[in-house]
Amino acid sequence: MHKARVALVTLALTGASVAAFACSDSVAQDPNGIAYSFAVIGCNRVAAPESIGVVSTANVAELNATFADIAAMSPKPAFLFFAGDLVFGYTNDSTALDRELKGWIALYQASPLNGSGVEIVTVTDNHETDNLSKVSYEPDERTWLRDMAAYITRGGNGPTAGGPDGLQTDQSRLSYSFDYKNAHFVTLNSDPVGKDWHVPTAWVTTDLAAAKSRGAKHIFVIEHKPAYPYPTTATDGLSFDIAARDAFWTVLESNKVEGVFSAHNHEYYRTQPTGHTWQVIAGNGGSPLEPTLDPTIPSTGAYYGYTIVSVTNSGRVFSKSYGRDIPAAGYAAPVSAAHATLRDSVEITQN
Answering whether pTM is above 0.85, one says yes
CATH code for position 282: 3.60.21.10
What residues contact 56, with CB distance under 8 A and at least 6 apart? Answer: 87, 100, 103, 104, 106, 107
Residue type, 80: L
Dump pLDDT digits (tens) for 151-197.
999 999 999 999 999 999 999 999 999 999 999 999 999 999 999 99
Indicate whether 102 belongs to any domain.
Answer: yes
Q: How many domains is the chain partitioned into structurally?
A: 1
Assess whether the previous peptide bond of 75 is cis (omega < 30° from 0): yes
Indicate whether 234 belongs to any domain.
Answer: yes
Indicate whether 316 belongs to any domain.
Answer: yes
Indicate whether 1 belongs to any domain.
Answer: no
Residue 1's pLDDT band, with cuts at 50, 70 and 90, is: very low
Range of the domain at 88: 6-347
Indicate whether 36 belongs to any domain.
Answer: yes
Return the number of other C-beta atoms located less than 10 Å from residue 145's C-beta.
18
Ranking 26-30, 142-146, 272-276 by mean pLDDT, the lowest is 26-30
Q: What is the pLDDT of residue 338?
A: 85
Return the number of other C-beta atoms located less than 10 Å from residue 78's C-beta.
17
Distance between CA atoms of 191 and 241, rounded to whole angstroms?
Answer: 13
Dump pLDDT digits (tens) for 108-157.
999 999 999 999 999 999 999 999 999 999 999 999 999 999 999 999 99
> 147: burial class by Cβ within 10 Å (0-12, 13-18, 19+)?
buried
- Percentage of residues of the chain with pLDDT beyond 90: 87
Distance between CA atoms of 251 and 232, rounded to whole angstroms?
Answer: 26
Q: What is the pLDDT of residue 22?
A: 30
Q: What is the pLDDT of residue 14?
A: 33
- Dihedrals phi, psi of 189, to nearest 5 degrees: -85, 115
pLDDT exceeds cutoff 70 at 5: no
Dump pLDDT digits (tens) for 187-234.
999 999 999 999 999 999 999 999 999 999 999 999 999 999 999 999
Distance between CA atoms of 282 and 64, rounded to whole angstroms?
Answer: 17
Mean pLDDT of the chain: 91
Longest CA span, the chain? 53
